[in-house]
Structure 1
Amino acid sequence: MDLTLYSALTQVVALEDETQVGEARRTAQKLAELAGFDTHDCGRVALVATELASNTLKHAGHGHLHLRALPALAGIELIAVDRGPGFDLHDCLPDGVSTRGTQGIGLGALLRQSEVFDVYADARGSVVLVRLFAKRERGSDWPVGISQHSLHDDPACGDAWQICRHGSLLSALVVDGLGHGPEAELAAQAGCKAFTRAPHGNPALLFDDMHQAMNGTRGGAVAVAQFDAHDGKLRFTGIGNIGACLVSPDKSRGMASHPGIVGAQFRRAQTFDFPHAAGQLLILFSDGLQSRWNLLDYPGLVHRHPAVIATVLHRDFCRGRDDVTVLVIALEAPDV
């Protein structure tokens, strides 16, 4: 099956008091309506947003609700993020159990309503993921996660990303236009447009095309990762300071980029091969995220949904002085 996810900012609703539960519900329902959900499925999205927002305020006191449409999957993603005391998932899932003296119906209700449900909680806080798919087009999930935020919530973002799947081939792009704001966004979008024409093509030719497309803009850093599930090999090509790594349950390997600016000047793009990448996590991130983090410092996080992983990394390592993109993909072996 061919699937493509196109660059889009994560929508964020701050959760500071009970009055913002209604805002979270309305924002989520509007997103579902724009995604073409019918009345019943819009109601499910609204219910989930209400439960996530309410639970965040009850057990953490404050936090955020992250929302994203997933058009290629006919889905909506909702993620509650906080820095509260955390909780034991197995204790909280049964109805009637609460760590805050409430009725304890939240997590159980979320599990019943959702097609995808996952949680990570420790002393640093909690991340609760729910994905819902439109009933008329309900299908399987795609193990990818994206957290993308512009500096100061600017509507223009200098980061852009794209993920394309064609049969056994998967290709992922992250572009960081120099600086931030509208001019950086123009550079990043020019790179994305060129990538769209041949995402699975020869990396050297692909970078030449993106270089030509970004010429005349500010230019930027670009990373492309291409994975073939048939042989399990990953090819990585990077120019500039896009961070990249492969993570397994017991180790993490960084992937090197070369200096330069796509759209301005760089030496010919060099591709590095990583065999036996199936079963590992691919993580790409712009320099709005700190680079000194280790996923293995979070026990069990490597086994969680990629959307949970991307959100935890953004929560704990966002620099707060630039646009930031975190892209996480579980590289799956082909179905037997």
Structure 2
Amino acid sequence: MNIRSSLTQVLPIEDSSQIGYARRTAQQLAERHGFDERDAGRVALVATELASNILKHASHGEMHLRVLPRPDGFGIEMLAVDRAQGFDLEACLADGFSTGGTQGIGLGSISRQAEVFDVYADNRGAVLLARLYPRADRAPDIRFGVSQHSLHNDPACGDVWHLAYEDGNISALIIDGLGHGEEAERAGFAGAETFALTPFAEPVMLMEDMHRDMIGSRGGAVAFTQFNALRDTLTFAGVGNIGASLISADKSRGLASHPGIVGVQYRKARPFDYAHVNGHLLIMYSDGLQSRWNLQDYPGLVHRHPAVIASVLHRDFCRGRDDVTVLVVALEAAHG
């Protein structure tokens, strides 16, 4: 199964009129991707409550939307992201709770509507995740998360990512085309299309294939990982300034890249192997994200869903002067 790069759709939530827009946008997205009337109605209900929750507790924030490729169709991911000071999670999970004079169906009800529901909240703000799948979709959740945003909301993004799942193994890619805009995006897609053909190929040859097919473009920074579930190993190959870390509950390891620009000039990229990685998180990110983050500063975040982790890191460490991608993958035997 291949999951191809796509931008995060961001809807500002700053006044009550935007709740209806968020509801309609999410519902229409679901209907376009195979949800029937009942399931699209569930999406609309969850979107309404998540957007309302932002106004109740933070006065403003954002709704992030994403279509999730599935083995047999699509799902819808919604994240409510805010920077509120304080958030009474236990109270909000109780049905009937309301701070704004609304019906107050409670996030507990939302958690029952969604196939996946997760929350992280502290004094820096809250991120609430809901993933919804059609009722006929019984496949397990694919535990990855990505937050990708272009500079100044340009429709073209110089960052490109790709995920491949095969026989329990996982391969993940980020390319940051030089600069930003259409030419950077063209460079990124040239490499990603090559990667998608053989994402589990021998790493040195795979990097050389991407280099060959990116010649004539601006080139870019490239990093990819290959997780082998049977051997419990991760192989990492990187050229340029894509950041990557392996994270467990009590430690973090940075993954080292080589200097150069794929598609322009680089020395052969020797891959690095890491053992005993099952159960770890892989976090990869372009240089639109500051590198000084530390999950230890967020108690319990390492145990939250990868999509929540990606959104928290983007919210708190986006530089704001470049395209930015944060890709978080749970390293565990995968389906697909």
Q: Identity of aligned pairs, percent?
A: 64
Give 2:148's aligned amino acid: Q
Q: Distance in 1 between matches of 2:47 and 2:138?
A: 19
Aligned equivalent of 2:45, options 36, 42, 47: 47
Contact 2:94 2:106 in 1 (8 A): no
User: 1:216-241 deviations in whole A, cap 9, x for unaligned?
Assistant: 00000000000011121000000000
Give the match for residue 327 of structure 2.
327
1:20-35 aligned at under 5 Å gives the runs 20-35=18-33
Give the match for residue 314 of structure 2.
314
In the TM superposition, what is the alpha-carbon distance from 1:136 to its structure 2 partner? 2.7
In the TM superposition, what is the alpha-carbon distance from 1:100 to its structure 2 partner? 5.4
Q: Distance in 1 between matches of 2:188 and 2:279?
A: 30
Contact 2:161 2:172 in 1 (8 A): yes
Q: Distance in 2 between matches of 1:115 and 1:322?
A: 34
Contact 2:171 2:227 in 1 (8 A): yes
Give the match for residue 3 of structure 2.
5
Which of 128-137 and 81-90 deviates more?
81-90
Q: Distance in 1 between matches of 2:298 and 2:223?
A: 26
Give the match for residue 129 of structure 1.
129
1:221-236 aligned at under 5 Å gives the runs 221-236=221-236
User: 1:173-199 deviations in whole A, cap 9, x for unaligned?
Assistant: 000000000000000000100001100
Contact 1:230 1:334 in 2 (8 A): no
Give the match for residue 165 of structure 1.
165
Gap runs ≥5 in structure 1: none
Is 1:266 the counterpart of 2:266? The answer is: yes
Q: Distance in 1 between matches of 2:146 and 2:153?
A: 17
Contact 1:4 1:72 in 2 (8 A): no
In the TM superposition, what is the alpha-carbon distance from 1:104 to its structure 2 partner? 3.3
Gap runs ≥5 in structure 2: none
Q: Distance in 2 between matches of 1:289 and 1:10?
A: 15
Q: Distance in 1 between matches of 2:135 and 2:110?
A: 17
In the TM superposition, what is the alpha-carbon distance from 1:106 to its structure 2 partner? 2.9
Q: Aligned to 2:260, what secondary structure does the other structure show?
A: coil
Q: Distance in 2 between matches of 1:98 and 1:250?
A: 37
Contact 2:165 2:334 in 1 (8 A): no
Is 1:119 the counterpart of 2:81? The answer is: no
Give the match for residue 145 of structure 2.
145
Contact 1:87 1:99 in 2 (8 A): no
Contact 1:63 1:81 in 2 (8 A): yes
Q: Aligned to 1:218, what secondary structure does the other structure show?
A: coil
Q: Aligned to 2:65, what secondary structure does the other structure show?
A: strand
1:93-108 aligned at under 5 Å gives the runs 93-98=93-98, 102-108=102-108
Q: Aligned to 2:129, what secondary structure does the other structure show?
A: strand
Give 1:307's aligned amino acid: A
Q: Distance in 1 between matches of 2:334 and 2:116?
A: 21
Q: Aligned to 2:47, what secondary structure does the other structure show?
A: helix
Q: Aligned to 2:120, what secondary structure does the other structure show?
A: strand
In the TM superposition, what is the alpha-carbon distance from 1:33 to its structure 2 partner? 1.7
Give the match for residue 17 of structure 1.
15
After TM superposition, the score normalised by the length of structure 2 is 0.96
Between the two proteins, the alignment pairs up a number of residues equal to: 333
Q: Distance in 2 between matches of 1:301 and 1:162?
A: 24
Which of 65-74 and 304-313 deviates more?
65-74
Which of 69-78 and 100-109 deviates more?
100-109
Is 1:240 the counterpart of 2:245? The answer is: no
Is 1:304 the counterpart of 2:304? The answer is: yes
After TM superposition, the score normalised by the length of structure 1 is 0.96
